Amino acid sequence: MTKEDILRLLEAYKEGGITQEDAASRLSKAAFEDLGFAHVDHSREARQGFPEVVYAAGKTKEQVRAILLSLKDASDGSLLATRASREQYEFVRQELPEAEYDAEARAIFVRRARPIGAPPEDDDHAILILTAGTSDIPVAAEARLVAELYGNRVQTICDCGVAGIHRLAAHEDAIRRARVIICIAGMEGALASVVGGLASAPVIAVPTSVGYGAALHGVTALLSMLASCAAGVSVVNIDNGFGAGVLASKINRLH
């Protein structure tokens, strides 16, 4: 339920169109809906500008579909389920035919109206996503999809890690123009420090679980990024493209 819906409900109660009990019941459901296995947050769109996002991993296909259908009826913005399988998607689209599946991002989504307050889609409000290697692309795809659904213009440049630093230098203009940068890297995670030293924009570093044994499934990159000497670098959790996309979107709409 959006703020406009709540205002209409209060106006209807004020004018005597609905009873106090009916208004209380509707507002109670607007806060969240109890599905038994989940309390679906229907007020998140009013609070944060975007409906609750479903983390599909570990959920049954029936649970994912029920939550998305609940969100569809109670919100106006785009719907998203991250870390979803194709099997879950095939089941969801039986009752939600407008749903799409991004195999690279591992996400089910329904693209709806751009969020209120979304930044202009121009060069001055672009989010730039950089990956150190091709193996980091799935995390980048998740970040890109999230940022686009939040109403941002996104540019993605892949495979420009420090093992061939000239590849990154070729995109220095894009780095300097970006309003927010998401920097995704596994192995030792050095790309975030290099980009942080070049960019005037805030850099969101995403460590990935890519790498040989001593990379420790992303822990080495995480610690390297946390210890970066470059100013203006923040770090999200390992493989958390979703979190990076949300944070970049919030920064981008502050202006």
Could you give all domains of the chain from N- to C-terminal order, each with its CATH number?
Answer: 3-110 (no CATH), 123-252 (3.40.50.1970)
How far apart CA 185 and CA 137 sit, in angstroms, is 10
pLDDT band at 46 (very low <50, low <70, confident <90, very high): confident
Assigned token pair, 242: 């979703």
Instruction: Report residue 57: phi and psi, to 5°.
Output: -60, 130
How far apart CA 25 and CA 141 sit, in angstroms, is 40
Checking if the pLDDT of 177 tops 80, the result is yes
How far apart CA 245 and CA 240 sit, in angstroms, is 9
pLDDT band at 213 (very low <50, low <70, confident <90, very high): very high
Identify which of 87, 25, 109, 57 has the alpha carbon closest to the alpha carbon of residue 239. Answer: 57
pLDDT band at 26 (very low <50, low <70, confident <90, very high): low
Contact between residue 169 and residue 195 where contact means Cβ atoms under 8 Å apart: no
Assigned token pair, 169: 């230098």
The pLDDT value recorded for residue 1 is 56
Q: What is the mean pLDDT of residues 191-206?
A: 95
Strand partners, 234: 204
How far apart CA 106 and CA 174 sit, in angstroms, is 27
Q: What is the mean pLDDT of residues 37-47?
A: 85
The model's pLDDT over 13-25, given as tens digits with 9 standing for 90+, comes to: 888 888 888 777 6
Q: What is the mean pLDDT of residues 22-51?
A: 80
How far apart CA 40 and CA 23 sit, in angstroms, is 19
The pLDDT value recorded for residue 31 is 78
Alpha helices for 110-239 (secondary structure H): 137-149, 165-169, 172-177, 191-198, 219-226
Identify which of 164, 161, 150 has the alpha carbon closest to the alpha carbon of residue 183. Answer: 161
The model's pLDDT over 117-139, given as tens digits with 9 standing for 90+, comes to: 777 777 778 999 999 999 999 99
